[in-house]
């Protein structure tokens, strides 16, 4: 017997669903205009070039129509959001945990951030609505020249590096939401790993939307210089409000020749967040970029991590997972653009849609003329464990070079009753059997996560499935 929707309990968000009182040093009133863009830039004491960039992006945002090819975004009212709310205002992000205001410290304690820092990570950043509140990097990494700070600080203190890369991977006119981010961005992580340096343990950031109707527009820029190695990890949450929030980040990642870079995200926004994110990486000669991208939360997600393989022998590995439940539309996927010879890419996408949730895989595989000897493989699998889910697959393959080797496969199906039966015959309850099958389906993803994230994933799915069957 399969489970029915009414028997499945909703996901327990209580761990994330707490709200701090909204006390901000700086909060710009709702709505978006050139004036708001100017104010944001002024609060941040930015150089003129950044203000000009923001204004050009704003003009493009206004003139660009909403995308009409994906999920329904017609409920988004851009004037209903606050575009800048900063708990610290002019103060610099704290480097000692004890210096943080008590309510914010409490928030991230609940989310486990300092604990994670102590136990596992080489550096930690935390963003609360528009402002970065905490940033710290281990001293040994800093001594090797590794920079890990918020992007606002980087604009001031590492201007040359920022100007070299900022907006070069994702130009402001790339899409409507990249334009929006470019106009009103605030916070985000900046990581620079110098040539030949191996950052060793992961760097982590955590993003949280706390206030109602606040948009979060972090801007992340990660550069692994020649031969460097780094693993960057981020998580996101928000409490549940009755009205929607908007998260429109831009992430630019550069893997210089022979660098190795891994970017892991586990997105667990509450189910009222529009998560419209542009994530793109460039891999130069012999470089490797790995995206590990998990999408569990949000109301609507549109996110297609991309790798532009620009140097000979560059490689891309993208692992994308989507889990959509009631009221959620997760439109995710991956893009690999091969513009150099002997480049290779591998995309694995897995999705589960239950209780009326919708998942879509939307992917692009492009082999440009001149990119000879390309090898690319895409696999996307979807599971529909109950009667209400919907799963779509939209893969685009553009092959303009004759010796490319491209394969693409997708399978959509339900959980085999014989699989459940087999596990039950071995003594598992039905819900445990389904949980085990789902975890097995996602195993390729889970094993790439740090252990605490993997445990979290396991717990989330268990919660989603608990009470599924009597």
Partner 1 sequence: MASAAPRYDAWLSAEAVAALSEKAGDPSSTARERREAHSRFLKLPLEPNPLYRGYGYFSNVDLAGLDPAASGPAVALPPQNEGTVRVVHDASGTRGFVPPELVSAGVRFRAFEEIWSGGEADIVAFLGKEEEATDRLSALGSALVNRGYELELPDRYRAPVRVADYAVLSLPHEAISIHRSVRCGVGSQLLFTEEVFSTPEVPEGQRLHASSTSLTTGADAKVVYLGVHSPDMRTVSIYRRRATTGANSRIAWLWNGMGGFRTKVRNQSTLAGAGSEVTDLQTFFGAGDQSFDSSVDLTHTSTDTHGQSITRGVFRDQARGMSRGLVRIEHEARKTVAYVSEHAMLLSKGSRSDTIPILEILCRDVKATHSTSVAPVDPEKVFYLESRGFSQPAAVRLIAEGFLAYVHERAPVAGLRELLYPLLAARWDGREVPWTGPEFPALPPLEVTGTEGAPEWRFDAKLR
What is the contact surface with partner 1 in residues (CB under 8 A)?
Answer: 67-69, 367, 369, 382, 384-387, 389-414
Which uninterrupted H or E stretch holds 159?
A: helix 159-165
Q: Closest CB to partner 1 among 82 and 358?
A: 358
- Residue 377 C-beta: closest distance to partner 1, Å: 9
Q: Closest CB to partner 1 among 9 and 405?
A: 405
**327 φ, ψ (degrees, to nearest 5):** 75, 0
- Residue 355 C-beta: closest distance to partner 1, Å: 12
Q: Closest CB to partner 1 among 7 and 452?
A: 7
Q: Closest CB to partner 1 among 63 and 407?
A: 407
- Residue 446 C-beta: closest distance to partner 1, Å: 23
Task: Give exposure, 110-146, as e/b (b: 16+ Cβ within 10 Å).
Answer: ebebbebbeeebbbbbbbbbbbbbbbbbbeebeebeb
Q: Using alpha carbons, select from 375, 344, 378 the residue that is nearest to residue 362.
A: 378
Q: Using alpha carbons, select from 458, 465, 460 the residue that is nearest to residue 440.
A: 458
Q: Closest CB to partner 1 among 345 and 393?
A: 393
Question: What is the DSSP pairing of strand 315-324 with strand 344-353?
Answer: parallel
- 8 Å CB contact between 234 and 201: no
- Residue 401 C-beta: closest distance to partner 1, Å: 7
- Residue 122 C-beta: closest distance to partner 1, Å: 41
- Residue 313 C-beta: closest distance to partner 1, Å: 19
Measured CA to CA, the distance from residue 30 to residue 32 in angstroms comes to: 7
Q: Closest CB to partner 1 among 154 and 404?
A: 404
Measured CA to CA, the distance from residue 450 to residue 380 in angstroms comes to: 23
User: Residues 385, 380, 303, CA angle at the centre, nearest 5°?
Assistant: 95
- Residue 75 C-beta: closest distance to partner 1, Å: 19
Instruction: Report residue 189 as tokens.
Output: 């992580």
Chain centroid, CA 120 distance in Å? 21
Burial of 224 (0-12, 13-18, 19+ CB in 10 A): buried
Q: Closest CB to partner 1 among 59 and 392?
A: 392
- Residue 431 C-beta: closest distance to partner 1, Å: 17
Q: Closest CB to partner 1 among 157 and 409?
A: 409
- 8 Å CB contact between 154 and 186: no
- Residue 90 C-beta: closest distance to partner 1, Å: 44
- Residue 168 C-beta: closest distance to partner 1, Å: 23
Q: Using alpha carbons, select from 364, 299, 293, 355 the residue that is nearest to residue 322.
A: 293
Other beta carbons within 10 angstroms of residue 35's beta carbon come to: 10
Q: Closest CB to partner 1 among 13 and 177?
A: 177
SS3 414: coil
Q: Using alpha carbons, select from 420, 356, 410, 417 the residue that is nearest to residue 386.
A: 356
Q: Closest CB to partner 1 among 202 and 395?
A: 395
**DSSP string for residues in 298-314:** -SEEEE--EEEE-STT-
């Amino acid at each position: 017997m399969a489970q029915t929707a009414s028997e499945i309990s909703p996901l327990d968000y209580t761990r994330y669903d707490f709200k701090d009182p909204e006390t901000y040093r700086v909060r710009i009133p709702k709505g978006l205009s050139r004036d708001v863009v100017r104010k944001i830039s002024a609060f941040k004491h930015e150089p003129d070039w950044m203000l000009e960039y923001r204004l050009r992006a704003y003009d493009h945002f206004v003139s660009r129509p909403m995308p009409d090819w994906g999920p329904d975004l017609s409920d988004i009212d851009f004037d209903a959001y606050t575009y800048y709310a900063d708990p610290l205002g002019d103060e610099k992000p704290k480097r000692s945990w004890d210096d943080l205001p008590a309510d914010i410290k409490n928030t991230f304690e609940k989310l486990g951030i300092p604990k994670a820092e102590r136990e596992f990570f080489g550096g930690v950043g935390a963003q609360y609505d528009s402002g970065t509140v905490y940033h710290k990097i281990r001293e040994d990494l800093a001594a090797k020249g590794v920079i890990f700070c918020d992007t606002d600080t980087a604009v001031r203190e590492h201007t040359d590096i920022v100007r070299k890369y900022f907006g070069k991977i994702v130009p402001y006119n790339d899409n409507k939401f990249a334009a929006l981010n470019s106009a009103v961005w605030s916070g985000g992580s900046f990581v620079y790993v110098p040539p030949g340096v191996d950052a060793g343990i992961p760097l982590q950031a955590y993003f949280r939307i706390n206030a109602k109707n606040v948009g979060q527009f972090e801007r992340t820029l990660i550069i692994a210089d020649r031969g460097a190695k780094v693993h960057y990890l981020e998580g996101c949450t928000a409490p549940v409000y009755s009205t929607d929030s908007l998260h429109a980040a831009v992430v630019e990642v550069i893997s210089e020749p022979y660098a190795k870079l891994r970017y892991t995200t586990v997105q667990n926004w509450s189910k009222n967040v529009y998560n419209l994110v542009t994530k793109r990486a460039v891999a130069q000669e012999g470089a490797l970029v790995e995206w590990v991208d998990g999408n569990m939360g949000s109301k609507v997600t549109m996110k297609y991590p991309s790798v532009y393989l620009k140097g000979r022998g560059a490689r891309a590995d993208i692992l994308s997972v989507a889990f959509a439940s009631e009221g959620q539309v997760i439109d995710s996927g991956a893009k690999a653009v091969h513009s150099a010879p002997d480049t290779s890419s591998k995309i694995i996408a897995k999705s589960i849609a239950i209780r009326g949730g919708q998942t879509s895989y939307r992917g692009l595989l492009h082999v440009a003329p001149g990119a000879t000897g390309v090898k690319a493989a895409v696999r996307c699998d979807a599971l529909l464990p109950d009667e209400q889910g919907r799963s779509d697959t939209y893969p685009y393959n553009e092959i303009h070079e004759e010796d490319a080797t491209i394969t693409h496969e997708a399978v959509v199906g339900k959980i085999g009753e014989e699989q459940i039966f087999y596990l039950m015959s071995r003594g598992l309850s039905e819900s445990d059997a389904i949980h085990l099958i789902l975890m097995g389906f996602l195993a390729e993803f889970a094993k790439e996560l740090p252990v605490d994230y993997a445990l979290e994933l396991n717990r989330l799915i268990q919660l989603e499935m608990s009470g599924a069957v009597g």
